[in-house]
Amino acid sequence: MISLKSPREIEAMRKSGAILAGMHIGLRDIIKPGISSWEIEEFGRHYIESHGAVAAQIGFEGYKYATCVSINDEICHGFPRKNVMLRDGDLVKVDTVVDLDGGFSDSCWSYAVGTPSDEVKKLMDVTKKSLYLGIDQCVIGNRIGDIGAAIQDYTENQNGYGDVREFIGHGIGPTMHEDPQVPHYGEAGHGLRLKEGMTITVEPMINTGTWKADTSDPSGWLARTADGGLSCQYEHTLAITKDGPKILTSQDPEFDAKYL
């Protein structure tokens, strides 16, 4: 069942999203060579809770942490780890969900540690642009397939990357994961039609090599690229409105001005 949100509910999600965005902005000063991925978890959890919100990933299907911290070839769902130290040139993805008085927001952001290689910089640039190409399709009357087709064409056809199939976007609110499912690949003109009041995530995960994931990690959570290549992800929560897609987790009001 798809829940269409009222303006009041969307505003509640926007307030939640502002906390989540603030956490990501703060991580820009935290993430550097020599810290452990556990320090990201500590900062993220403290930031969320100190702003009166709940780190909603804790306890979700048994997950124990406020954040997912995935490094280099790790696509998603990496545990924060005290014994994993960040190195110069690493590519780190930090994903979390915030619940503020029942308003949910979900956002993942990628960070280059120290001085990134040209390979990392290009992958980050392409992945971030693909996020916004997908968001541009999130207008009333378009279909879910339009979102995925725009992302897949840019990442795979134009840049030769792998567009992950195993993990996709989703509806959000009144719980973390709701219908509809939002793949980042697909065929334009196909799938569910978008309606005013839908709140969804767009969260492409893009690999330098194959799109296929290795999900054999004994944790039951961590997914890696099947060929050991790098993976990058950017994610926003957004609302479908009569005035176009509205990003609820924006970190940059100037860059995102047309979506606010």
Res 225: pLDDT? 98
pLDDT bin (cut points 50, 70, 90) of residue 154 is: very high
Superfamily of the domain at 7-254: Creatinase/methionine aminopeptidase superfamily (3.90.230.10)
Res 1: pLDDT? 87
Which residue ranges make up each domain of the chain?
A: 7-254
Spatial CB neighbours of 158, under 8 Å, sequence gap ≥ 6: none
pLDDT bin (cut points 50, 70, 90) of residue 213 is: very high
Res 249: pLDDT? 99
Element (H, E) at 120: helix 118-136
pLDDT in tens, 67-125: 999 999 999 999 999 999 999 999 999 999 999 999 999 999 999 999 999 999 999 99
Binding residues for a divalent metal cation: 95, 106, 170, 203, 235
Asked if residue 69 lies in contact with residue 78, where contact means CB atoms within 8 angstroms, the answer is: yes
27 vs 29: CA distance, rounded Å: 5
Binding residues for substrate: 77, 177
32 vs 108: CA distance, rounded Å: 18
Which residue from 72, 117, 110 is spatially nearest to 94, judged by alpha carbons?
Answer: 110
Mean pLDDT estimate for the chain: 98
Binding residues: 77, 95, 106, 170, 177, 203, 235
pLDDT in tens, 166-198: 999 999 999 999 999 999 999 999 999 999 999
Q: Mean pLDDT throughout 251-259? A: 98
113 vs 99: CA distance, rounded Å: 28
Compute φ and ψ for 232, nearest 5 degrees: -135, 150
Q: Mean pLDDT throughout 238-250? A: 98
131 vs 9: CA distance, rounded Å: 24
First to last CA, the chain: 27
pLDDT in tens, 26-55: 999 999 999 999 999 999 999 999 999 999
Res 61: pLDDT? 94
